[in-house]
A and B are shown apart, each in its own frame.
Chain A
Amino acid sequence: MDAPVGRYLPAFGRAHDTAVTVRRLLTHSGGELGWKPLYQQARDRRAIMDLAEQTPLEYPPGTRMIYSDLGAITLTDMVETLTGERLDRFLKRRLFEPLGMRDTRFNPPRSWRSRIARRRTTRRGGTGWCTHGA
């Protein structure tokens, strides 16, 4: 937990200080920027993760707490690198199935739509479903 993230993700280690630890990413105090429109510059999964991991820190690790999507994306890469499994399969096998969480998953199928809360508005002012056009 207190190991530098760079120990598991060498490219991250080259970009950031060893003070960015796994525990700090989990507690949103690693220095990561909260959010950034990565999708505008990177199209695929690997490129999004690389961009998130190369984004300069916003504050010195351990000095503040900023809820960070970028930190969570970095942890996603770490889990996948260490387990060799994509996050959805890893969580299904290690967490959801053992706990009997049969109604928890990524990319819910169309058949779940009637059970998914509908968004009232989007940033553009329209309405839409909460899923990624599944």
Chain B
Amino acid sequence: MHDENAAAMGGVSGHAGLFGTAPDLMRFAQMMLNGGVARARGEGREMARTRVTGS
């Protein structure tokens, strides 16, 4: 990552500067799949468990 605007912001900004790993990104993606919660409950869990393509 090389971004002068982020560097001028002390390396902390919403547009650049975040470092991470694939397993961490997977945790984030799973949270999104859960409907925005760490552990799916209710509708979020139903959505994650529902087959949407064919039977």
Contacts and interface: CB of A to CB of B under 8 A. Distances in A.
A8 to B, nearest CB: 14
B31 A99 contact: yes
A39 B4 contact: yes
B8 A106 contact: no
Interface string B15-35: 111111101110110010000
B28 to A, nearest CB: 6
Nearest to B7: A132
Interface residues of B, number: 28
B52 interface: no
A103 B4 contact: no
Interface residues of A, number: 43
Contacts of B28: 95, 99, 101, 104
A7 B9 CA distance: 24
Given A39-B4, A72-B15, 13 more contacts: A37-B4, A37-B5, A44-B8, A45-B12, A72-B14, A88-B12, A103-B23, A104-B24, A104-B28, A106-B12, A106-B18, A107-B10, A132-B11
28 contacts: A38-B5, A39-B5, A39-B7, A43-B8, A45-B8, A48-B5, A48-B8, A69-B3, A72-B13, A73-B5, A73-B9, A73-B15, A76-B15, A87-B14, A88-B12, A96-B24, A101-B20, A101-B28, A104-B21, A104-B28, A105-B18, A105-B20, A106-B12, A107-B10, A107-B11, A107-B17, A119-B2, A132-B7
